[in-house]
Amino acid sequence: AERLARRTDRLQGATVVISGTFTHHSRDEYKSLIEEHGGKNTSSVSAKTTYLLAGENMGPAKLEKATKLGIKIITEDEFLQLIGQEQ
């Protein structure tokens, strides 16, 4: 796995909550990727959340809260496109 510390500002000012399980990277790798691209990872959904990175079997409570607050829910592939790492 080639992980270059190639940092961008693509997630500057964004707060991302990770929920569920993923195919391409582990949750810890996603946390690192969020930070490498200028974003912040938090564990709970709030009005300050920019994106909910939704994997398989994600918690229904997080999904419901994100939907209620109008937070953009993105898939693993959409997240990777967002940071310029298309699979």
| Tens digits of residue pLDDT in 21-70 | 999 999 999 999 999 999 999 999 999 999 999 999 998 999 999 999 99
Mean pLDDT score, 6-22: 93
* Residue 1 pLDDT grade (very low, low, confident, very high; cuts 50, 70, 90): very low
* Helix (H) or strand (E) segment spanning residue 41: strand 40-42
How far apart are alpha carbons 78 and 7 in whole angstroms?
18
The reply to whether the predicted model has a pTM over 0.85 is: yes
Sheet containing 15-19: order of strands: 40-42, 15-19, 51-54, 72-74
- Residue 79 reports pLDDT greater than 90: yes
Q: Residue 64 corresponds to which tokens in the numbers above?
A: 């419901």
Cα three-residue angle 36-32-49, rounded to 5 degrees: 85
- The separation between CA 78 and the C-alpha centre of its own chain, rounded to angstroms, equals 9
Q: Residue 35 corresponds to which tokens in the numbers above?
A: 């930070």
